[in-house]
């Protein structure tokens, strides 16, 4: 798989790793876990450790939250311009160091360097977007319907926020939360995924360097996510939880948050349908499917999980997609020419293999891929299956791997029913050149986002989020900052008519 290929020129693996802090960041200081525990971060291309980071316990978590809580008033009192300036400086620093940050991300998460660089840019854009939003926090002034009072409305920071992120986008899922929190004036404790803590620690280091006050952003890395987060959620010190991860964990956290009536934002799992009508531009549709399926090796909540193709074009679409998938190069993300890195761990590799086996047993045919390669690392080849039964496990579960399952359909109403037949509702994709059909589908699909003739919808300036069991709230766009703001209304009597002599 990686035979004969060299690392991309100029990489300094030890150098970039040495520059990333590996302790907890609490109250503006890098500190070890109280109990002195540490855990290894593994390179999924080899299974070997690349770094060891502090392993926080519940007391460390509470200290981080106390630091956030005691800094809340100070941060809330800063000017919007000041907060915007910090975010702009952080944007510039992230872009300046994009090469190093991408290398760190590839080492801990596996995605090829070019893709990691793409994520760094995407992550930085949230900093730039929310720098601008910090300046646009609005209020209102309204006359009561009876004319006898005035309503003054203002937005205030929600308060100390707990931020939990997954491993698949190790930096972008962080800036998508940290940037609006800072813009709104909320302090935070961020807990990155245990498998990919380094990118977040590098980001927190940058925020510190550009002058974000001590205690405003705290970072806790741990192998005991539940034990560390639950006391913080239940403590009464936090006012908000913003979570990106699986629906199963999201449901547990929502129950915990209910006890303190915390504000919640939930970016959860997906099961995206990708629908190709016979009238679509097939070349565009194949390119869109490649983007929607293969971004992040398929390890994305927005990944096309079920590809429905109208009968007359299913064979042609399958042939072209399989050709493109087979032409990709699998290997360690640091190597030249590699376009598909490893999956995150052996459990992910085994799960993808099992889902493919299940689909084959239910009648699917393999157009390309489908075999776990020998050797080290958690690789899985780009795979196209056709004739996948709607009863296959992969029609219900997130594949989270480079597997494109094609299922034929006949009519628009049939495919709309199939697409919506899921508890998830994050994103759907539709390819058609018929405007009426495009609008009917966009309105009928039960998802928070629709990609119309495009295979990527994520954009820091657009409202990202799902409906049904895919989540609550939106990140990015003009509304992203509202997740960290409360509305306060002041009812004002009068004004009374001026006195005759006044």
Interface with ligand NAP (CB under 6 A): 164-169, 173, 191, 193-195, 225-226, 229, 244-246, 249, 252-253, 267-270, 301, 398, 426, 466, 471
Q: Which of 115, 119, 133, 267 is catalytic?
A: 267
Residue 273 exposure: Cα atoms within 13 Å on the Cβ side:
29
Percentage helix, strand, coil for the chain under 3-state DSSP, each rounded to 5:
40, 20, 40
Strand partners, 488: 154
Q: Given the complex with ligand NAP, which of 80 and 477 has the nearer CB atom?
A: 477
Nearer to ligand NAP, 342 or 471 (CB): 471
SS3 189: strand
Nearer to ligand NAP, 91 or 400 (CB): 400
Give the Cα separation of 2 and 339 in Å (integer).
12
Tell the smallest beta-carbon distance from residue 481 to ligand NAP (Å): 17
CB of 172 to ligand NAP, least distance (A): 9
Residues contacting residue 382 through CB under 8 Å, at least 6 positions apart:
294, 325, 326, 328, 330, 340, 368, 369, 402, 404
Per the document, the length of the chain is 502
User: Do residues 294 and 328 lie in contact, with contact meaning Cβ atoms separated by under 8 Å?
Assistant: yes
Q: How far is the CB of 271 from ligand NAP (least distance, A)?
A: 9
* Least distance CB 167 / ligand NAP (angstroms): 5
Annotated catalytic residue 301: yes
Which residue has tokens 């926080």?
A: 56
> Which residues partner with 164 through β-bridges?
191, 243
Cβ distance to ligand NAP smaller for residue 90 or 249: 249
Nearest approach, Cβ of residue 368 and ligand NAP (Å): 25
For residue 115, give every residue at least 6 positions away whose Cβ sits within 8 Å of its Cβ, in sequence order, or none: 295, 296, 333, 341
CA distances from 214 to 68, 92, 205, 217, 235 (A): 9, 20, 11, 7, 21
Which of 284, 287, 317 has its CA nearest to residue 407? 317
Residue nearest ligand NAP (C-beta atom): 245
Work out how close the CB of 224 gets to ligand NAP at its nearest, in angstroms, rounded to a whole number.
8
Closest distance between ligand NAP and the C-beta of residue 95, in Å? 23
Distance CA 303, CA 306 (A): 9
269 or 387: whose CB is closer to ligand NAP?
Answer: 269
Residue tagged active-site, from 115, 133, 301, 398:
301
Distances (CA, A) of 267 to 114, 176, 457, 471: 25, 11, 15, 5
* Burial (Cβ within 10 Å: 0-12, 13-18, ≥19) of residue 49: exposed
Q: Which one, 50 or 75, has the nearer CB to ligand NAP?
A: 50
Closest by CA to 422, choosing from 295, 241, 272, 261, is 272
Give the residue with the Cβ less far from ligand NAP, 271 or 335: 271
Q: Toward ligand NAP, which CB reaches closer, 63 or 177?
A: 177
Question: How distant, in Å, are the alpha carbons of 3, 12, 51, 335, 337 from that of 7?
Answer: 11, 10, 19, 4, 9
Look at strands 240-244 and 161-164 and give their pairing. Answer: parallel
Q: What is the smallest separation between the CB atom of 231 and ligand NAP, expressed in angstroms? A: 11
Catalytic residues: 267, 301
């Amino acid at each position: 798989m990686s035979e004969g290929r060299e690392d991309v020129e100029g990489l300094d693996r030890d150098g970039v790793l040495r520059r990333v802090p590996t302790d907890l960041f609490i109250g503006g200081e890098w500190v070890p876990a109280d109990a002195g525990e540490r855990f290894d971060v593994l390179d999924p291309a080899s299974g070997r450790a690349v770094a060891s980071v502090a392993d926080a316990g519940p007391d460390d978590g509470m200290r981080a939250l106390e630091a956030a809580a005691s800094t809340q008033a100070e941060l809330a009192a800063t000017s919007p311009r000041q907060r915007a300036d910090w975010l702009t400086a952080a944007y510039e620093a992230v872009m300046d160091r994009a090469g190093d940050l991408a290398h760190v991300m590839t080492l801990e998460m596996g995605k090829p360097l070019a893709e990691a660089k793409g994520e760094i840019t995407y992550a930085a854009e949230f900093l730039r977007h929310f720098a601008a939003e910090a300046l646009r926090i609005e209020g209102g002034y309204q006359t009561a319907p009876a004319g006898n009072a005035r309503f003054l409305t203002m937005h205030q920071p929600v308060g100390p926020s707990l931020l939990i992120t997954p491993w698949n986008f190790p930096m972008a899922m962080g800036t998508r939360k940290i940037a609006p929190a800072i813009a709104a004036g909320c302090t935070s404790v961020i807990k990155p995924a245990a498998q990919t803590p380094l990118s977040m620690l590098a980001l927190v280091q940058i925020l510190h360097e550009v002058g974000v006050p001590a205690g405003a952003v705290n970072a806790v890395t741990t192998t005991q996510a539940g034990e560390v987060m639950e006391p913080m959620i239940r403590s009464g010190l936090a006012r908000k939880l913003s979570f990106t991860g699986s629906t199963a964990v999201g449901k547990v956290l929502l129950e915990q948050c209910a006890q303190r009536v915390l504000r919640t934002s939930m970016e959860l799992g997906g099961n995206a349908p990708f629908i190709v009508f016979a009238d679509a531009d097939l070349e565009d549709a194949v390119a869109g499917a490649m983007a929607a399926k293969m971004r992040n090796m398929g390890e994305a909540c927005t990944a096309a999980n079920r590809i429905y193709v109208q009968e007359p074009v299913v064979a042609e679409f399958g042939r072209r997609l399989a050709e493109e998938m087979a032409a990709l190069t699998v290997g360690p993300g640091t190597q030249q020419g590699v376009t598909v890195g490893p999956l995150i761990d052996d459990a992910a590799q085994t799960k993808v293999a099992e889902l493919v086996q299940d689909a084959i047993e239910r009648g699917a045919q393999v157009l390309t891929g489908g075999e776990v390669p020998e050797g080290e690392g958690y690789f899985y080849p780009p795979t196209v299956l056709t004739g996948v039964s709607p009863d296959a496990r992969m029609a219900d579960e997130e594949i989270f791997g480079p597997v494109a399952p094609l299922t034929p359909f006949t009519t628009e109403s049939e495919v709309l029913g199939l697409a919506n037949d899921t508890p998830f509702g994050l994103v759907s994709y539709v390819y058609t050149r018929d405007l009426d059909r495009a609008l009917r589908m966009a309105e009928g699909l039960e998802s928070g986002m629709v990609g119309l003739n495009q295979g990527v919808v994520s954009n820091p300036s657009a409202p990202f989020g799902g409906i049904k069991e895919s989540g609550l709230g939106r990140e990015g766009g003009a509304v992203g900052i509202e997740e960290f703001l409360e509305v306060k209304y002041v009812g004002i009597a009068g004004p009374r008519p001026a006195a005759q002599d006044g």
